[in-house]
Chain A
Amino acid sequence: MIDLIILLMLLAIGYGFGSYAESRHYKSIITRENDLRHIPAITSRFPPQNNSSDATLVSGSVVISVDYFKRFIATLRNLVGGRVTAYESLLDRARREAILRMKNEAAQLNSDIIFNVKLETSSIHKGKGNRIGSVEVIAYGTALKTSK
């Protein structure tokens, strides 16, 4: 019985803090995306040749941990299959945050555009099995200045 109470408390803590952190993070992401919209992140490998200069590598990475509640849902989902919706928002946040950090670096270099943007994802749980569920997303690309 005590185990069950502890479990429910952990779930409540996970849900409370997790959803608070998530909604706050989304608000911040949306504002910053609007602020940095003037620097497009483009996946094309070929920038215009004639007037670009100052090609620089820019990158941004972020590590986000899953909360207890999300992991619990995902565990149950593992049994029956289907969309792991609990993790979808987690990865969405991580990707957007990584791109924002990359754009931020480009903004500090006064670049105008980022080309050849790539995203990589890795999970951080080495040696700990299912105990720790964190995800790292890194975004990197080539920042360029386009002469006016």
Chain B
Amino acid sequence: MKYSNPLIPEGINTSKQHPLKEFFILTAGVLGLIVTAVLLLGFFADKLAHHIPFEVEQKIASEALLQTSNPSPMQNYLESLTRQIAAVQQLPDKMPITVHYIDSETINAFATLGGHVYMFRGLLEKLPNENALTMVLAHEIAHIKHRHPIRSLGRGIVIGLALSMVSGSIGDMMSNQIISNTETITSLSYSREQERVSDKTALDTLMALYGNVLGAEQLFKVLQESEGTMELPEFLSTHPLSDQRINAIHKFARESFSTDAEQQAKPLPSDFSTWLRITE
């Protein structure tokens, strides 16, 4: 008997497909699937989060609550403004707003779970009149009225869960890197649409309280100045650009108010600048 090992042609046990081609097909396919799933989940989470009772939201928030604010002239002033705005926006009784004055340089104000609104000294120092302050406060209260914090949280949780399940099944370090990046992009705090809605409600509130929307425009001028020269494209920032918001205000003013003449902004209380520093 004769034994031999003949020459076997190459490529029987391996694939002839170029590895880079497979890489691109797979990456595009899997990323596409993940993005679609995340968008779908986010959409449903956003719709359903609306039905979570406000009391539940308050319970979630109380754990994360930063601190209770001590009574101070500024705190009292902000609270009285809040009461007026809440009345105009017709907030339900079960949706109490708690405003906090924070003695900090940060130029910011935000609303979070459980109806807590935080106002920072840095921003208040820059405001020219009460109308602008009301615009800020009304904007943040509008977020709460439209249940934006819980909707963002719901979206964030659902997307986070889904992505961690995917990354768990892959169970690999490098995939986790991709996925954590996708997560930060998709779970930004408030969407631009939510900001637009809140702007609109805040403008309605200004109109009802003062009969004009002077404060809004001044507020965005201030924000624009503090943003300085750094111009981010709209895609990268959650807030619509100040320019666009100012244009929206002009449009709103044209539609709701006939003449620009004789509009007077209500000045801030005379002691406002001293109140800024008094926190006890």
User: Which residues of A are in contact with B by a Cβ distance under 8 Å?
Assistant: 1, 3-4, 6-7, 10, 15, 19, 26, 30, 34, 37, 40-42, 48, 68-73, 75-80, 83, 85-86, 88-89, 91-92, 113, 129-131
Across the interface, do B29 and A15 meet the contact criterion of CB distance under 8 Å?
no
The answer for the CA separation of A48 and B20 in the assembled complex, in Å, is 49
Once A48-B1, A76-B26, A92-B14 are accepted as A-B contacts, the answer to whether A86 and B19 lie under 8 Å apart by CB is yes
Instruction: Tell me which residues across on chain A come within 8 A of B30, comparing CB atoms.
Output: 76, 79-80
Once A7-B174, A113-B3 are accepted as A-B contacts, the answer to whether A19 and B19 lie under 8 Å apart by CB is yes
Instruction: Tell me which residues across on chain A come within 8 A of B166, comparing CB atoms.
Output: 79
> What are 10 A-to-B residue pairs whose CB atoms are below 8 Å?
A7-B177, A37-B5, A40-B4, A41-B5, A48-B1, A76-B30, A77-B26, A80-B26, A88-B14, A130-B173
Instruction: Tell me which residues across on chain A come within 8 A of B14, comparing CB atoms.
Output: 85, 88-89, 92
The answer for the CA separation of A48 and B1 in the assembled complex, in Å, is 8
Once A4-B177, A4-B178, A15-B20 are accepted as A-B contacts, the answer to whether A76 and B15 lie under 8 Å apart by CB is no
Interface: B170 (CB within 8 A) = yes
Instruction: Tell me which residues across on chain B come within 8 A of A113, comparing CB atoms.
Output: 3
The 7 closest A-B pairs by CB, nearest first: A85-B15, A76-B26, A89-B14, A3-B177, A92-B13, A40-B3, A40-B5
Chain B contact residues: helix, strand, loop or mixed: helix
Across the interface, do B23 and A69 meet the contact criterion of CB distance under 8 Å?
yes
Smallest Cβ-Cβ distance to A48: which chain B residue = B1
Across the interface, do A15 and B3 meet the contact criterion of CB distance under 8 Å?
no
Within 8 A of A (CB), among B156-175: 166, 169-175
Q: How many residues of B contact A (CB 8 A)?
A: 30
The answer for the CA separation of A127 and B3 in the assembled complex, in Å, is 44
Across the interface, do A42 and B3 meet the contact criterion of CB distance under 8 Å?
yes
Instruction: Tell me which residues across on chain B come within 8 A of A34, comparing CB atoms.
Output: 7
Interface: B69 (CB within 8 A) = no
Across the interface, do B174 and A75 meet the contact criterion of CB distance under 8 Å?
yes
Instruction: Tell me which residues across on chain A come within 8 A of B27, comparing CB atoms.
Output: 76
Across the interface, do A88 and B13 meet the contact criterion of CB distance under 8 Å?
yes
Chain A contact residues: helix, strand, loop or mixed: helix
Instruction: Tell me which residues across on chain A come within 8 A of B238, comparing CB atoms.
Output: none
Instruction: Tell me which residues across on chain B come within 8 A of A41, comparing CB atoms.
Output: 5
The answer for the CA separation of A68 and B173 in the assembled complex, in Å, is 11
State how many angstroms separate the Cβ of B230 from the closest Cβ of chain A: 17
The answer for the CA separation of A79 and B34 in the assembled complex, in Å, is 11
Contact indicator per residue, chain B 1-42, by CB within 8 Å of chain A (1) or not (0):
101110100100111010110110011011000000000000
Interface: B264 (CB within 8 A) = no
Across the interface, do A75 and B170 meet the contact criterion of CB distance under 8 Å?
yes
Instruction: Tell me which residues across on chain B come within 8 A of A3, comparing CB atoms.
Output: 177, 180-181
State how many angstroms separate the Cβ of B69 from the closest Cβ of chain A: 38
Smallest Cβ-Cβ distance to B27: which chain A residue = A76
Complex partner residue of B19 from A10, A15, A91, CB under 8 angstroms: A15
Instruction: Tell me which residues across on chain B come within 8 A of A77, comparing CB atoms.
Output: 26
Complex partner residue of B29 from A1, A72, A80, CB under 8 angstroms: A80
State how many angstroms separate the Cβ of B84 from the closest Cβ of chain A: 44
Smallest Cβ-Cβ distance to B169: which chain A residue = A79
Instruction: Tell me which residues across on chain A come within 8 A of B20, comparing CB atoms.
Output: 15
Given contacts A7-B178, A15-B19, A78-B169, 16 further A-B contacts (CB under 8 A): A6-B177, A15-B20, A26-B10, A30-B10, A37-B5, A68-B174, A70-B19, A75-B170, A75-B174, A76-B27, A77-B26, A79-B30, A85-B15, A86-B22, A113-B3, A131-B173
The answer for the CA separation of A3 and B181 in the assembled complex, in Å, is 8
Instruction: Tell me which residues across on chain B come within 8 A of A131, comparing CB atoms.
Output: 173
The answer for the CA separation of A92 and B15 in the assembled complex, in Å, is 11
The answer for the CA separation of A71 and B190 in the assembled complex, in Å, is 37
Once A3-B181, A7-B177, A85-B19 are accepted as A-B contacts, the answer to whether A75 and B172 lie under 8 Å apart by CB is yes
Across the interface, do B22 and A75 meet the contact criterion of CB distance under 8 Å?
no
